[in-house]
Amino acid sequence: MTRALLEVEHLRVEFPTRRGVLVAVDDVSFTIAHGEVLGVVGESGAGKSLTGAAIIGLLEPPGRIAAGEILLDGERIDRLPHEAMRRIRGRRIGAIFQDPLASLDPLFSIGQQLVETIRTHLPMSDAQARKRAVELLQEVGIPAAARRIDHYPHQFSGGMRQRVVIALALAANPQLIIADEPTTALDVSIQAQIITLLKRLCRDHGTAVMLVTHDMGVIAETADRVAVMYAGRIVETGPVADVINAPKHPYTVGLMGSIPSIAADRERLVQIDGSMPRLTAIPSGCPFHPRCPRVFDRCVDERPDLLDAGTSRAACWLHAAVTA
Amino acid sequence: MKVLAEAHTAHARHGPAVERASVLLQVAHATKVFDVSPPWLARMLGREPRVLLHAVEDVSFDIRRGETLGLVGESGCGKSTVARLIVGLYRLTAGTITYDGVDIRSFASGRGHRSLRRKLQMIFQDPYASLNPRWRVADIIAEPIRAQRLLRGRAAMRARIDELLLQVGLSPADGHKYPHQFSGGQRQRISIARALASEAEFLACDEPTSALDVSVQAQVLNLMRDLQRRLGLTYLFISHNLAVVHHVADRVGVMYLGRIVELADKRTLFANPRHPYTRMLLDAIPDIAMSGKPRTPVAGEVPNPLSPPTGCAFHPRCPLANERCTRETPVLRGEGRGPQGEYETLVACHAVEEGRVPAREGRIPV
């Protein structure tokens, strides 16, 4: 069996504060194979974006990786010096963020930004890099790319800007793209365009994607596998169809039921009472237990690991009997 | 295109046979134009013309007592402006809005009608911006009661605030806290309590759950539905999310660049969308059921509302557009007949009128 492209083992991200250490990502492990799309889904505060930031070495201080390992192609990248990480970021791991305006420098034309990115990572002359930049813009569907390349970010609409950001992420042909809520700031019709584009490009280039989003619909359309996060932990992971159609963790069950659907006429949505715990007060045992409709004694005291549950794995004691 | 005689007759609520008595809010030919010209001096020096933004253009609809009308559309389509016109935050450029038979413009002047104004309240999208961070929750909720002089005496006020907090699923003890002590969903509950404080009958809800996580959104949507049942509220529900609108609305209007392009009963609209834009929006919804049907995203983006396309504003993106569409602005026309002869849906589209719209394979079983 070939080795996975990305291996994350027991990752722990902490924020030291005056009132003690907050654990934002707690013992998270997963892998992404070459060319695979892993969806990471969860609500605000679940730790999904921080997991992505930890992988590309963009954790904002005082946040820090306190434990665990991150391996890219079998090589540790979580302890690399700044410079070495900079060479990996962009070259081997690309990034797409939610707000395209924040990812682009307003003072430079998109051509300048693309050429700079390409030349940082690939041995190319200015002219070669510019030619590649035009090709990239064409590939992400920007009309009249040869002319538009000299325009500035403010001259593009939101959807077009996100295409430029995708072109930037793909500039050096990375093996992995971390896309953090890439469509959240866009209108629905534009969202569909961007998702279709991202899917096609990654298939054509064999790029693996870690797609971080709160939107189950986007995951359903894009991902091969999905990891559901809650309070800094992965609570369920499995093939995307299985997790969506037959969720195993009570949180995933609630989450799926709470999404309004056009296919179903429901009188009421499934309601998970309460809200995601704050980092300062993560419950003991299973962090979901105070909101869980199927809680029992063991959940309060003992933290469940990911246990086999059919084709998926769920961090829930309900599945302990099956494995034991 | 006068097909589909499905038995949704009870829901077909428009066309000539609308019962006047039950209409609570009537919007007729509402138009709102914003003057976004540069300052006068700059304009004179630069010889620039006035710049007018037609945010809402000839919009008409009725909302019946106790029902929910959903308005959907992408950013900049004018849906929020419609809500703000109704609650009086903007003044109409043209057209009329009547509430319970009274022109809302008379709320400001006519003494007898002042008490009507408080019946219309608004819920905003961002519960972090719409609550005063320096006020305690009890004061936030009490403000409309005090301003309208609805109650006298401390005890009565306290009792009313406690009742409102309980109604929205909070506890009376929460009244002493400040907004920052609450999560987004709880803050939206506070907004709802404040709206209900003035004994509102009609709530204009502008993307009330768009800033919330899905599980919290479910809590708020369930609460809104419970309150509607219990208090007989009428909602205008604005959202860009079609699935949410499908869940809450009885009837749905689709807006594009300031105009309503389709207006129909929810079931009709989702089962048999007629306007090409409505179809595009429906196709753009991520397919969570994973039926595997490929979606075909429509090319192009919403045009700049300062220089809208001629004729039908959707024609540059429309697969069915022809020469007439570039020239002539379509108006809402009735389409399809129910058994009582009422229209099933109202559509503003030349292609629909001329029968050029192909039948649609239903992706979504309703």
Per-window interface: B 47-106 vs A, CB < 8 A = 74-75
Q: Say if A107 is an interface residue toward chain B (CB within 8 Å).
A: no
Half-sphere exposure of B298 (CA within 13 A, CB side): 23
Distance CA B126, CA A43 (A): 17
Best interface-test mutation with A: which of B247, B269, B293 has the largest number of A CBs within 10 A? Answer: B247
Q: Say if A155 is an interface residue toward chain B (CB within 8 Å).
A: no
Residue A118 lies in a domain: no
The burial class, CB within 10 Å (0-12 / 13-18 / 19+), for B202 is buried
Contact B301 A263 (CB under 8 A): no
pLDDT for A131 equals 95
Distance CA A140, CA A163 (A): 6
Interface contacts (A, B; CB < 8 Å): 125
Residue A48 lies in a domain: yes
Structural domain of A70: 6-92+174-323
With bands split at pLDDT 50, 70 and 90, how would you rate the model's confidence at B38?
confident
Distance CA A138, CA A125 (A): 20
Q: Of B229, B223, B279, which is closest to residue B250 (Cα–Cα)?
A: B229
* Percentage with pLDDT > 70 across chain B: 89
> Each residue of A166-205: pLDDT tens digit?
999 999 999 999 999 998 888 888 888 888 888 888 889 9
How far A291 CA sits from the closest chain B CA (Å)? 12
Contact A261 B270 (CB under 8 A): no
Residue A37 lies in a domain: yes
Q: Say if A260 is an interface residue toward chain B (CB within 8 Å).
A: yes
**Contact list, A261 vs chain B (CB under 8 Å):** 243, 246-247, 288-289
Distance CA B335, CA B261 (A): 13
Return the number of other C-beta atoms located less than 10 Å from residue B305's C-beta: 18
Pair of tokens at residue A210: 């870690």
With bands split at pLDDT 50, 70 and 90, how would you rate the model's confidence at B291?
low
Distance CA A251, CA A232 (A): 14
The three-state secondary structure class of B279 is: helix
Lowest mean pLDDT among A290-299, B62-71, B239-248, B336-345: B336-345
Q: Of A216, A99, B32, which is closest to residue A227 (Cα–Cα)?
A: A216
Residue B10 has pLDDT above 60, yes or no: no
CA distances from B90 to A229, B33, B34, B275, B312 (A): 43, 10, 10, 29, 26
User: Which residue bears the tokens 């939206």?
Assistant: B188
Query: Helical H runs in chain A?
Result: 48-55, 82-91, 100-103, 110-121, 126-139, 145-148, 158-170, 188-205, 216-222, 240-245, 250-257, 297-301, 320-323
pLDDT for A1 equals 53
The mean predicted confidence, pLDDT, of chain B is: 86
Q: Say if B282 is an interface residue toward chain A (CB within 8 Å).
A: yes
pLDDT for A285 equals 93
Number of domains in chain A: 1
> Each residue of A275-311: pLDDT tens digit?
888 888 899 999 999 999 999 999 999 999 999 998 9
Lowest mean pLDDT among A241-245, B96-100, B230-234, B305-309: B305-309
Query: Helical H runs in A34-125?
Result: 48-55, 82-91, 100-103, 110-121
CATH number at residue A314: 3.40.50.300
Residue A115 lies in a domain: no
With bands split at pLDDT 50, 70 and 90, how would you rate the model's confidence at B295?
low
Residue A106 lies in a domain: no
pLDDT for B151 equals 87
Residue A127 lies in a domain: no
How far B75 CA sits from the closest chain A CA (Å)? 7
The burial class, CB within 10 Å (0-12 / 13-18 / 19+), for A195 is buried
Contact B214 A220 (CB under 8 A): no
**Contact list, B318 vs chain A (CB under 8 Å):** none
Nearest residue of chain A to residue B229 (CA atoms)? A267
DSSP assignment of B98-144, as one string?
EETTEETTHHHH-GGGHHHHTTEEEE-S-TTTSS-TTS-HHHHHHHH
Q: Of A15, A12, A38, which is closest to residue A26 (Cα–Cα)?
A: A12
The burial class, CB within 10 Å (0-12 / 13-18 / 19+), for B154 is exposed
Do the beta carbons of residue A214 and residue A131 sit within 8 Å?
no
Q: Say if A60 is an interface residue toward chain B (CB within 8 Å).
A: no
Residue A72 lies in a domain: yes
CA dihedral B33, B36, B37, B42 (to 10 degrees): 160
Region B355-359: mean pLDDT is: 84
CA dihedral A13, A15, A16, A21 (to 10 degrees): -70
Do the beta carbons of residue B124 and residue B57 sit within 8 Å?
no
Residue A113 lies in a domain: no
pLDDT for B13 equals 40
pLDDT for A254 equals 93
Strands B52-64 and B234-239: unpaired
The three-state secondary structure class of B52 is: strand
**Contact list, A190 vs chain B (CB under 8 Å):** 301
- β-sheet bridge partners, residue A67: A12
Residue B286 has pLDDT above 90, yes or no: no
Q: Of B359, B272, B257, which is closest to residue B314 (Cα–Cα)?
A: B257
Residue type, B18: V
Whether omega for the bond prior to residue B358 falls within 30 degrees of 0, making it cis, is no
Q: Which residues contact B62 (CB under 8 A, 6 or more apart)?
A: B14, B18, B23, B25, B26, B27
What does R_g of chain A's alpha carbons equal in angstroms?
A: 21
CB nearest A187 (choices: B215, B240, B247): B240
**Contact list, A193 vs chain B (CB under 8 Å):** 297, 299
Q: Say if A299 is an interface residue toward chain B (CB within 8 Å).
A: no
Higher pLDDT, B275 or B363: B275
CA dihedral A237, B217, A210, A30 (to 10 degrees): -30
Residue B17 has pLDDT above 90, yes or no: no
The three-state secondary structure class of B182 is: coil
**Contact list, A260 vs chain B (CB under 8 Å):** 217-218, 221, 241, 243-244, 246-247
Residue A76 has pLDDT above 50, yes or no: yes
Region B203-214: mean pLDDT is: 91
The CATH number of the structural domain formed by B9-119+201-353 is 3.40.50.300
With bands split at pLDDT 50, 70 and 90, how would you rate the model's confidence at A102?
confident
The 10 Å CB-count burial string (b at 16+, else e) for A227-265 is bbbbbbbbbbbbebbbbbeebbbbbbbbbbbbbbbbeee
- β-sheet bridge partners, residue A7: A31, A71
pLDDT for A318 equals 92
Q: Of A227, A215, A16, A195, which is closest to residue A96 (Cα–Cα)?
A: A195
Q: What are phi and psi of A277, to 5 degrees?
A: -65, 150
Do the beta carbons of residue A283 and residue A269 sit within 8 Å?
no
Q: Of B77, B74, B70, which is closest to residue B54 (Cα–Cα)?
A: B77
Residue B233 has pLDDT above 90, yes or no: yes
**Contact list, A44 vs chain B (CB under 8 Å):** 213
E strand or H helix that includes residue B214: helix B214-231
Q: Of A72, A100, A104, which is closest to residue A87 (Cα–Cα)?
A: A72
> Each residue of B241-280: pLDDT tens digit?
999 999 999 999 999 999 999 999 999 999 999 999 999 8
